[in-house]
Amino acid sequence: MAENNGIKRRDFLKFLAVGSVAAGGLRLARWTSASQTGGSSPYKWAMVIDQEKCSGCGQCTLACRAHNDVSPDISWNQVIDAGQVGDKKSFLPRPCMHCEEAPCVNACMVGASYHRADGIVMMDYDKCIGCRYCEVACPYGARAFNWESFDGPNPAVPDWGSPEVERRPRGVVEKCSFCYQRIDRGLTMGLKPGIDEEATPACVVTCPMGARKFGDLNDPESEVSQLINNNPYFRLREDLGTSPRVYYLPPREEVTG
């Protein structure tokens, strides 16, 4: 055993040194990654959906598909039947909630789901490894996995236009992005998201009933701030503490009987 002691100490130190260098190297590799939670932004984007106005037509889903090149198997933006209120059918359009405390962002092991400074929960499709932990973690079912590759023309895309973002490959999880591409491009053009159509999410622009509003919660004059301040609203599963950035105005008809 005497001879072992000499070897042990020296080699143990070597072992440690190699280990820390390796760990440090991996750490460095992380800094090279572009997409990360953090930074600061003057904006805090939010969406308000008025259930009273929604007629369940599904235009939002269609516009979403066309602008984001979403496969027919997947829906970023479902319109869910929410039963009867009074004598009217009620609907609940459900995009990604862009939660302030997003379970998917914490769950994602590679940081492919991350928060932008303006609050949008983003997907880095080049990082995603397709483990689907985020799908398991999301309480809203807002995420969809690309089980198959989506080839060929998208039936939702009309002849006169083309999608604004790249199609996702097979094997990654995708979801609604609040049409970040429209917001970002609009801002560089000096437009105001929520007011100028060019800078507003496609589903908001297309809604024939005007049931969807989009805007900046940091701006007290914005339509979304005004709606939230002056109306009763709810968010989905507030009990979970996820703090969604999609607000709903409930149907306001009186329930008879």
Q: State the residues that interact with other proteins by CB under 8 A.
A: 4, 7-8, 11-12, 15, 26-27, 29-30, 33, 80, 82-83, 92, 94, 103, 105-112, 127-133, 135-141, 143-149, 169-173, 234, 236-237, 240-241, 248, 250
**Alpha helix (H) ranges present in 80-236?**
103-107, 133-137, 180-188, 202-206, 223-230
Q: Which is nearer to other proteins, 32 or 229 (CB)?
A: 32
- In the complex, the smallest distance separating the C-beta of residue 166 from other proteins, rounded to whole angstroms, is 16
- In the complex, the smallest distance separating the C-beta of residue 170 from other proteins, rounded to whole angstroms, is 5
Q: Which is nearer to other proteins, 127 or 192 (CB)?
A: 127
Q: Distance between CA 63 and CA 53 in Å, rounded?
A: 18
How open is the CA angle 221-226-232, to the nearest 5 degrees? 165
Contact 247, 233 (CB under 8 A): yes
Tell the residue number behind the tokens 């235009």, with chain if given: 59
- In the complex, the smallest distance separating the C-beta of residue 256 from other proteins, rounded to whole angstroms, is 16
- In the complex, the smallest distance separating the C-beta of residue 65 from other proteins, rounded to whole angstroms, is 17
Q: Distance between CA 246 and CA 235 in Å, rounded?
A: 7
- In the complex, the smallest distance separating the C-beta of residue 55 from other proteins, rounded to whole angstroms, is 18
Contact 205, 63 (CB under 8 A): yes
- In the complex, the smallest distance separating the C-beta of residue 152 from other proteins, rounded to whole angstroms, is 16
Q: Which is nearer to other proteins, 116 or 182 (CB)?
A: 116
- Of 187, 183, 238, 242, the C-alpha closest to 214 is 183
Q: Which is nearer to other proteins, 47 or 199 (CB)?
A: 47
- Of 202, 171, 200, 204, the C-alpha closest to 183 is 200
Q: Which is nearer to other proteins, 24 or 158 (CB)?
A: 24
Q: Distance between CA 134 and CA 138 in Å, rounded?
A: 6
Q: Distance between CA 130 and CA 132 in Å, rounded?
A: 5
Q: Which is nearer to other proteins, 97 or 179 (CB)?
A: 97
